[in-house]
């Protein structure tokens, strides 16, 4: 028996396998169509939550324009150290430096979520989780930076993968750090009558 069932056409506007897996884990049926638009870099001194919300909406609007008649979910997840937005490392050296800067302290993972209905109604918001890292250990941080996992991850780590060893503790949604605040997203989809509890 499914935990939730999808009763209206839903598109996940993301190519992230982690977001796909999270939604499928509770029984949702949907189509995956990644956004094809450019992702502009944040403006100088732009609020990270504003940026994450903006990016999620840009992606959702891009997918909605090409897929009328569907409900669209767009999302963007960023890692923030102080007020600095950390993107994906360009190589293992940058991954190492990024991870080194996060060790022994707490950073934020912020996901922007955007929803668009077939009639054009829009909703967007952000969910933030505090993540505390272990203290710096050069040998193990270099080993992780070179293992390949950080290459396509914002902040250069995956909490659901080998990078779990870095995490001393979190405050907030775990799935948000993975890439999608599942509880809040499901709550919204239920409110919009896109999904229902059980087998429908």
84 catalytic residue (yes or no): no
**Tally of CA atoms within 13 A in the half-sphere of 12 that contains its CB:** 23
**DSSP class of 119:** T
How many Å is the maximal CA-CA distance in the chain? 54
- Contact between 37 and 58 under an 8 Å Cβ cutoff? The reply is yes
Of 99, 101, 102, 172, which is closest to residue 130 (Cα–Cα)? Answer: 172
Catalytic entry in 47, 76, 119, 199: 76
Q: CB count, 10 Å around CB of 69?
A: 10
- Contact between 141 and 100 under an 8 Å Cβ cutoff? The reply is yes
Residues belonging to the active site: 76
């Amino acid at each position: 028996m499914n935990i939730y069932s999808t009763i209206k056409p839903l598109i996940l506007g993301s190519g992230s396998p982690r977001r796909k897996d999270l939604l499928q884990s509770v029984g949702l049926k949907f189509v995956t169509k990644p956004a094809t638009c450019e992702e502009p870099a944040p403006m100088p001194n732009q609020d990270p939550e504003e940026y994450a919300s903006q990016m999620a909406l840009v992606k959702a609007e891009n997918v909605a324009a090409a897929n009328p008649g569907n409900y669209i979910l767009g999302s963007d997840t960023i890692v923030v150290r102080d007020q600095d937005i950390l993107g994906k490392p360009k190589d293992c050296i940058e991954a190492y430096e990024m991870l080194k800067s996060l060790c022994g302290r707490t950073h934020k993972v912020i996901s922007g979520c955007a929803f668009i209905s077939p009639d054009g109604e829009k909703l967007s918001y952000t969910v933030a989780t505090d993540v505390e890292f272990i203290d710096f250990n050069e040998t193990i941080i270099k080993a992780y930076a070179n293992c390949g996992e950080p290459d396509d991850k914002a902040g250069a780590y995956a909490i659901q993968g080998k990078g779990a060893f870095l995490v001393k503790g979190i405050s907030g949604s775990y799935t948000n750090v993975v890439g999608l605040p599942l509880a809040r997203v499901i709550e919204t989809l239920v409110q919009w009558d896109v999904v229902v509890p059980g087998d429908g």
